[in-house]
Structure 1
Amino acid sequence: MKTRDLIARLANDASPVKRDAVARLLNRALIQGLAGDTFLLAALYGVRSDMPELIFTTMFWARLAFPLSILAAAMLLAGRLGRPGARLKLAWCAVALPIATMLLAAGGILLATPPGYRLQLMLGTTWRTTTASVVLLSLPSLAAMMRAMRQLAPTRLALAGAGAGLLAGAQGLLVYSLYCSEMAVPFWGVWYVLAIVLTSAIGAAIAPRCLRW
């Protein structure tokens, strides 16, 4: 069969695509991922007994604001990475903004803290397990996002995988924030950001194999 004939046959079978098809696909993957992450959190860590008291604290909502802001920006980025030729500059800036804000806030607090207490603020009591826990909880979301990306048309596979990993990491961090006891901003700026970077790197590493057409 000649290329022209193949193109004509494919064009004859084409049907209109809904304008919100990409958003619907990613939203479905988002719900599936959050459900999987939450189930994994409940199975591995359980539910905190002091959760009702935490909900009424300012720092609890400030901590949730970080993964939520990344989640919103990463959804925009993932949608664009799934389309060939889509512009990415503004989407990447939107993702970088909450991360840069977190790092600046953490750095400002550390500068205002006496030197003898800075390490304690960065390490907290769970620094050995926090990053690994967030990455682990992100795996169901990463699987769901990779499956969604595969149904789109990414051409920059490593970048698409990084975007999916970033989105999955934000979901895993959001779920873990419901359990984590750490309330120091420098702790978030080190270990939460590191977890997001690692999930993005994992997504970028596996994308060329998982998203190959």
Structure 2
Amino acid sequence: MKTRDLVARLASDVSPVERNAVSRVLNRALMLGLAGSAILLVLLYGVRSDMPELILTTMFWTRLAFPLSIIAGAIHLADRLGRPGASLGLAWLAAALPIAAMLFAAAGILMATPPGYRLQLMLGTTWRTTTASIVLLSLPSLAAMMHAMRQLAPTRLALAGAGAGLLAGAQGVLVYSLYCAEMAVPFWGVWYVLAIVFTTAIGAAIAPRCLRW
């Protein structure tokens, strides 16, 4: 069969794709991942008894704003990475800005804190388990995002995996924030950010195998 005939045959059954098809796939994965992470949180850690009082505090919503802002940027980044040849533009910057802002705020607070109290602000009482807990809670989201990416057409596999891992890590932080008792910004700037770095690295590492065409 000649190449021209093969191309004509492949193109004969082509149907138009909805303009929002990629967004729908990613948003569905986002919801499935959040649901899976929330269920895992309840099974492993339960529900805080003081949640009604907690949601009335400013710091609770400030803490939630951090992962939500990353998710807003990371979902756009994943959208671009799922399209072959699509320019990333400022998508990476939009996803990285909340992390940079968190690190800047944490550094500012530490500089204004007497040296004897800085380590306490960074360690809190749960530093040994926080990062591992967030990474664990991110796994349902990472699996959902990787499955979504397989339905798309990423050509930069490691980058696509990193984008999926970044989004999953932010989802893990969001869910864990519903349980975590730590309210110090330096604590978030160390252990929450470290967890996101880990999930991003995991996504980049497994993507060449999981997303291979």
In which range does the TM-score fall when normalised by the shorter chain? Answer: over 0.9
1:96 is matched with which residue? 96
1:155 is matched with which residue? 155
Superposition deviation, residue 6 in structure 1: 2.2
Superposition deviation, residue 47 in structure 1: 0.3
Give the distance between the partners of 1:97 and 1:37, measured in 2 at CA. Answer: 24
1:107 is the counterpart of 2:107: yes
1:187 is matched with which residue? 187
Give the distance between the partners of 2:5 and 2:210, measured in 1 at CA. Answer: 30
**Quick one: which amino acid aligns to residue 207 of structure 2?**
A
Give the distance between the partners of 2:164 and 2:61, measured in 1 at CA. Answer: 25
Paired residue total: 213
Moved more, 129-138 or 84-93: 84-93
Superposition deviation, residue 3 in structure 1: 3.0
> Any runs of at least 4 consecutive aligned residues in structure 1 with deviations exceeding 4 A, and if so which?
none
**Quick one: which amino acid aligns to residue 90 of structure 2?**
L
**Tell me, what secondary structure is at the counterpart of 1:89?**
coil
2:16 is matched with which residue? 16
**Quick one: which amino acid aligns to residue 65 of structure 2?**
A
2:77 is matched with which residue? 77
2:132 is matched with which residue? 132
Q: Percent identity?
A: 84
1:203 is the counterpart of 2:203: yes
Give the distance between the partners of 2:28 and 2:120, measured in 1 at CA. Answer: 40
**Tell me, what secondary structure is at the counterpart of 1:80?**
helix
* Structure 1: runs of 5+ lacking an equivalent: none
1:87 is the counterpart of 2:87: yes
TM-score under structure 2 normalisation?
0.99
Superposition deviation, residue 156 in structure 1: 0.2
Superposition deviation, residue 155 in structure 1: 0.3
Give the distance between the partners of 1:89 and 1:198, measured in 2 at CA. Answer: 24
Superposition deviation, residue 194 in structure 1: 0.4
* Structure 2: runs of 5+ lacking an equivalent: none
1:30 is matched with which residue? 30
**Quick one: which amino acid aligns to residue 143 of structure 2?**
A
Alignment RMSD, CA only? 0.7
**Quick one: which amino acid aligns to residue 108 of structure 1?**
G
